[in-house]
Amino acid sequence: MGFLRRLFGGQNDAQKQHSAEMLTYVEGTGIFIHPECGTCKRRMRLRIDKERDLENDGAGYTWHKTLVCNNNRCFRRMPTVVHFDSKFNVATYELEKGRYLTLGEFDRLEAEDKVAKAAAERAAAEEASAEEQDSAENDSDNSSGGGKRGFD
Ligand SMILES: [Zn+2]
């Protein structure tokens, strides 16, 4: 997947309003967070309602929930606890059976998926048009994920 790195690595995200290192962004009364299922790698975008979903714990807010993977072949349950400070910034977080993507990771993975999907469609179209030329060079699945794990 080297071409993806070339496509996306050089671009800077200056036009994004939010920091790529952040886990959440706030829009009105919603806080958006992006868990990834550790089992099937499904990415999700969740909205936490500041008024209804958070418990005020004095110093800040706590979000307690058991997430359920929305892949209907998976449905993995992922208990999570996220603590926010009084300004709704993430202070600490835990997610069992999965992990939270940073905004930068989420956007990058979404964009990569879009490119990979377009490339797959193009490849399928080319394959259909050149069906008789049986290509020996078969790109094997190399989706090990790049091993980027910047969080502690
Ligand atoms: Zn899953």
Span 40-99, pLDDT tens digits: 999 999 999 999 999 999 999 999 999 999 999 999 999 999 999 999 999 999 999 999
Rounded to the nearest integer, the mean pLDDT of the chain is: 83
Span from the CA of 71 to the centroid of ligand 1 (angstroms): 5
pLDDT category, 18, cuts 50, 70, 90?
Answer: low
Single pTM value for the model:
0.69
**pLDDT over 50 (residue 29):** yes
CA 43/CA 69 separation, integer angstroms: 9
Range with the lowest mean pLDDT among 7-16, 76-85, 120-129? 7-16
Span from the CA of 100 to the centroid of ligand 1 (angstroms): 13
Span from the CA of 31 to the centroid of ligand 1 (angstroms): 22
Judge residue 37's burial from the number of C-beta atoms within 10 Å of its C-beta, 0-12 exposed, 13-18 middle, 19 or more buried.
Answer: buried
Percent of the chain with pLDDT over 70: 74
Range with the lowest mean pLDDT among 2-16, 23-37, 87-101, 116-130? 2-16
Q: So what's the pLDDT on residue 109?
A: 96
Phi and psi torsions of 3, nearest 5°: -65, -30
Span from the CA of 141 to the centroid of ligand 1 (angstroms): 20
How many residues are listed for the chain in this entry? 152
Dihedral, CA of residue 115, residue 21, residue 145 and residue 113, to nearest 10: -20
Span from the CA of 140 to the centroid of ligand 1 (angstroms): 23
Contact 86, 60 (CB under 8 A): yes
Judge residue 111's burial from the number of C-beta atoms within 10 Å of its C-beta, 0-12 exposed, 13-18 middle, 19 or more buried.
Answer: middle
